[in-house]
Amino acid sequence: MGKRVIVRQERKDMQEQRYIEIMDSTLRDGEQTSGVSFLPHEKLMIARMLLRDLNVDRIEVASARVSEGEKEAVKMICRYARQIDALERVEVLGFVDGHASVDWVKEAGGHTLNLLAKGSLRHCREQLGKEPEEHIADIRKVIDYAHRQGIGINIYLEDWSSGMKESPEYVFQLMDALIDLPVRRFMLPDTLGIMNPLQVIEYFRKMLKRYPDAHFDYHAHNDYDLAVSNTLAAVLSGARGVHVTVNGLGERCGNAPLSSVQVILKDQFNARTSIVENKLNDISRLVESYSGIAIAPNQPIIGDNVFTQVAGVHADGDSKGGLYHNPLAPERFGRKREYAMGKTSGKANIARNLQELGLELTPEQTQRVTRRITELGDRKEVVTQDDLPFIVSDVLKHDVTEDKVKLVSYQVSLAYGLKPLANVKVEIDGFQYESHSSGDGQYDAFVKAMRKIYREYLDRTFPILENYAVSIPPGGRTDALVQTVITWRRDDGRILRTRGLDADQTEAAIKATIKMLNIVEQDKG
């Protein structure tokens, strides 16, 4: 009978749209990703977007006493948060170290300390070398001092998952001693990423049965690829808040990714959050840029490929009542559905892309273009919508897509101790223009020379380079072909990706640039 009551209550909670707090720890736990270290101004930019644009409930931005650079970053974030009346949403990890962490947070301008206590007997005895009573006394002193200094306290029970498995009596001893103190939230981490959803449900129910009025957060790690599942199990079991990171950054295998947790909470559990979903892609790209950790193309919600249909039957079904659509509509996240072209795409994908570009072909012409794209797919060539006008031109020998921008000549030089130089001569709509410039690299010098031509001779802006990616075949051969993929942002905000292939990286990038300019000029015409 008891189980039925629990199930009914859970269903009632979901029907009533429970509100779940989202705490983002990208700037603290996410920065523990191997090779990731954010500069203070980068931390500020990420914090601004998280608080202002994405509207997460709370952000954990640093660990106390790490470095002066860390303190400077916290000061900058706290100053900004105070300006937008969001200082209470900024939190800093601190330690059971007497006055030290509390003073550090106060000096940095913070108002909230996330105190790292030991949530397992093994950690308490073996890492601290203390008995539970000693550790509890030390925690109480920090909480008392923080309270007197006007610093709010949340408590992490570090290694809580191991504690519940191996020493639950210790966890309850700790909670019994702290539950009546001025602690806002008890945060329960699966520090080693060892739990599964059934265990999360079991342990959360034990905690809530014993402490029904406590605010519990859940903090997942992804060692068994269960961070998202465990997070949702915690919510199902009564957690009021969950911890996430942008792109799932974090130590070892990372943490629960913000984007995945958000959409499953909303779509599968009918829960409410504060997140502005159409900013999820923007924050993911910002963190990708600053962290240097690339987003996998098949990463749900934010990956490059997740709204791209490849099979022709899918494109055909989408044109007949959206048969292959689900609630994860790309427009919901500020993106759009795309139809990739390759050996499995078929005429339906080609037709959708031609329609978007405003190109009208006869059925016979479409068939010929389809055959060419299939041939390219068999050779593992990547075909994008931006390539399509050139493929059409090549297959049908149309004059309408003749190159309007032609590279007449260029010279780039590189000398030790000197800035790279570029001399460029280009033909645009039948007129030749020449310019030169220096830059921070050979390709940078080339682009700056092209920008001068567009600014001084054509009185037009040059698209902004958003991203630059280089890939080469494995094996380490120095004569391998290099593929350069460049993402551009046009004046109207549209995104354009072009590719260049060559044995020389600079040459590949220049080819991609000239291809982009031809697309822009064709649109202008």
CA distances, 228 to each of 51, 159, 200, 248 (Å): 22, 18, 12, 10
- DSSP characters over 339-351: E-BSTTTHHHHHH
Q: CA 301 to CA 497: how far, in whole Å?
A: 20
Annotated catalytic residue, options 60, 70, 91, 158: 158
Q: Report which of 91, 69, 96 is spatially closest to residue 23, judged by C-alpha positions.
A: 91
Phi, psi of 237 (to 5 degrees): -95, 0
Q: Count the residues in the chain.
A: 525
66 C-beta neighbours (distance < 10 Å), count = 15
Tell me if residue 451 is catalytic: no
Q: What is the DSSP letter of 503?
A: S
Phi, psi of 488 (to 5 degrees): -120, 150
Annotated catalytic residue, options 28, 89, 497, 499: 28
* Residue whose structure tokens are 């952000």: 59
Token representation of residue 410: 């260029």
Distant-in-sequence contacts of 431-439, Cβ < 8 A, 24+ apart: 432/408, 433/457, 433/458
Distant-in-sequence contacts of 500-509, Cβ < 8 A, 24+ apart: 503/479, 505/443, 505/470, 506/412, 506/442, 506/443, 506/446, 508/470, 508/482, 508/483, 508/484, 509/443, 509/446, 509/468, 509/484
Sheet holding 495-502, edge to edge: 464-471, 482-489, 495-502
Q: Report which of 231, 293, 360, 398 is spatially closest to residue 37, judged by C-alpha positions.
A: 293
Contacts of 205 (CB under 8 A, 6+ apart): 6, 237, 238
Extract the runs of DSSP E, i.e. beta strands, from 108-203. 112-118, 152-158, 186-189
Q: CA 422 to CA 413: how far, in whole Å?
A: 7
Q: CA 517 to CA 181: how far, in whole Å?
A: 65
Q: CA 188 to CA 261: how far, in whole Å?
A: 17
Helix ranges (DSSP H) in 149-225: 160-166, 168-178, 197-210
Tell me if residue 169 is catalytic: no
Q: CA 320 to CA 323: how far, in whole Å?
A: 7
What DSSP element (H or E) covers 75?
helix 68-83
Contacts of 43 (CB under 8 A, 6+ apart): 27, 61, 62, 73, 76, 77
Contacts of 199 (CB under 8 A, 6+ apart): 161, 164, 165
Q: Report which of 176, 218, 184 is spatially closest to residue 200, judged by C-alpha positions.
A: 218
**What residues act catalytically?**
28, 158
